[in-house]
């Protein structure tokens, strides 16, 4: 049996005027899970009280990118540059993160996935990097533009990247502000923006601010998804 990877769905309003909210996952996430030997299963945004039952059906969780997390969930007023928020998705994913942390279920968070992980565990977010991080470089660029990151020596990420520096894409206007207790920083951009975090324990809890799924030829992407799947098989 292949490891079953629950991929938490993103949401989308009003596609082509159909006036109905949709749940979806960009295909590259599914492709990378399959390449690493996993069986992707989509988890719909639904009642937070169903999280435990969903977790009984999968071996690991992948949190994908998407809209901003509602700042009310980390006790902050809305910044004027805040993007759209979706409270139902936030609440489902926050419940999911708390459950995977409790159950030590291997989890990889990508972009918003890292951010929601931080909020669920008690941290806060920068709502708009250009307005709130003095001297910030460009993070909200096109998906094929890259910037370097410094990987923290001794971190799990350092082990799997195998280098102190790597190039990653950057497609985010938010970032971690106050780091949640229970997470440690494993990479930063040159301007100090947190680009990766992880749980310090033996369980696989990793968040990356970039989009590895959109860099299929990257050695870092391959290593990250391989390590994720290895952690599932080792459990």
Q: By rule CB under 5 A, what string of x and - marks binding of each residue 74-103 to Mn ion?
A: ------------------------------
Annotate 129-145 with DSSP letters as a single string. HHHHSTT----B--TT-
Least separation in angstroms between residue 27's CB and Mn ion is 22
Q: Give yes or no for a contact between 206 and 160, defined as CB atoms under 8 angstroms apart.
A: no
Q: By rule CB under 5 A, what string of x and - marks binding of each residue 128-157 to Mn ion?
A: -----------x------------------
Find where tokens 């990097």 sit: 129
127 contributes a contact to Mn ion by CB under 5 A: no
211 contributes a contact to Mn ion by CB under 5 A: no
Least separation in angstroms between residue 173's CB and Mn ion is 10
Active site residue 211: yes
- The torsion angle over the Cα atoms of residues 213, 107, 113 and 150, rounded to 10 degrees, is -70
- The torsion angle over the Cα atoms of residues 107, 133, 86 and 80, rounded to 10 degrees, is 180
Active site residue 9: no
Distances (CA, A) of 68 to 113, 151, 183: 10, 25, 20
Active site residue 14: no
Annotated active-site residue in 111, 172, 195, 198 = 111
- Residue number of the CB atom closest to Mn ion: 170
How many residues lie near Mn ion (CB under 5 A)? 2
Give the distance from CA 142 to its chain's centroid.
Answer: 18
Which residues are part of the catalytic machinery? Answer: 111, 211, 213
- Please report, as ranges, the residues that interact with Mn ion according to CB under 5 A: 139, 170
């Amino acid at each position: 049996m292949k490891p079953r990877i629950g991929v938490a769905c993103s949401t989308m309003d009003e596609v082509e005027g159909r006036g109905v909210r949709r749940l979806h996952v960009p295909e590259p996430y599914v492709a990378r899970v399959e390449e690493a030997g996993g069986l992707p299963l989509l988890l719909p945004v639904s009642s937070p009280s169903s999280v435990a039952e969903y977790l009984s059906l999968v071996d690991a969780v992948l949190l994908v990118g998407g809209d901003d997390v509602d700042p009310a969930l980390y006790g902050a007023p809305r910044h004027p540059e805040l993007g759209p928020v979706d409270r139902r998705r936030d609440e489902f994913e926050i419940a999911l993160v708390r459950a995977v942390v409790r159950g030590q279920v291997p989890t990889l968070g990508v972009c918003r996935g890292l951010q929601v992980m931080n909020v669920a565990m008690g941290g806060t977010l920068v709502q708009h990097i250009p307005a709130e991080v003095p001297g910030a470089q460009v993070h909200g660029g096109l998906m094929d533009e890259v910037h370097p990151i410094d990987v923290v020596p001794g971190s799990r990420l350092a082990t799997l990247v195998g280098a102190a520096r790597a190039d990653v894409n950057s497609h985010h206007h938010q970032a971690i502000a106050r780091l949640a207790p229970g997470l440690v920083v494993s990479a930063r951009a040159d301007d100090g923006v947190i680009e990766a975090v992880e749980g310090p324990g033996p369980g696989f809890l990793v968040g990356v601010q970039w989009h590895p799924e959109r860099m299929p030829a990257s050695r870092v992407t391959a290593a990250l998804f391989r390590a994720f799947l290895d952690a599932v098989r080792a459990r």
